[in-house]
Amino acid sequence: MDFICWDEERMLTGVAVIDDEHRQIIRDLNQLCRSHREGVEMEDVNRILKKLCRFVQTHFQHEEAVLEQRRCPARDEHRLAHAKFLRGFQEMVVEFSLVRDADQTAGEIERMVARWLMPHIYSVVASLQECPAPAEVPPAGEISDPP
């Protein structure tokens, strides 16, 4: 059973790259949780964590670029939330790699991401709905006269 499930109706932003990355983050988090529950070797869990951390960093850059492109008023709020989350997440990943018995740290990471991820996705959806993509302007020479 998955730790977090993708909810198309509530999580779809309409921006393909962002939606795909949100789905990937949820898949990676579910893999992390399954690995932890199944007692997979600490090195494997650590590898999944580091991969997830790198991917989240890249995703935040993409998300911030879309918010910036659309000039969303909430873009600075999202940027700060991303930075705060990433700092905490990176600290926990380092702690996980240093702790001998990492069950407690792994559980904390799962709870932290789960508590943060769902509300964050919902807030991104709301922000992008408030700031639709700019209308595409056809290149010069392709504008046709009205009939």
Q: Cα separation of 3 and 30, whole Å?
A: 6
Write the pLDDT tens digit of every residue in 75-126: 999 999 999 999 988 888 888 777 755 667 777 777 787 788 889 899 999 9
Domain layout of the chain by residue ranges: 10-130
Question: Do residues 80 and 19 touch, judged by C-beta distance below 8 A?
Answer: no
Percent of the chain with pLDDT over 90: 37
| 10-130: CATH architecture | Up-down Bundle (1.20)
Q: Cα separation of 126 and 131, whole Å?
A: 9
**Does the pTM of the predicted model rise above 0.85?**
no
**Residue-level length of the chain:** 147
The helix/strand/coil state of 7 is coil
* CA atoms lying within 13 Å on the CB side of residue 87: 5
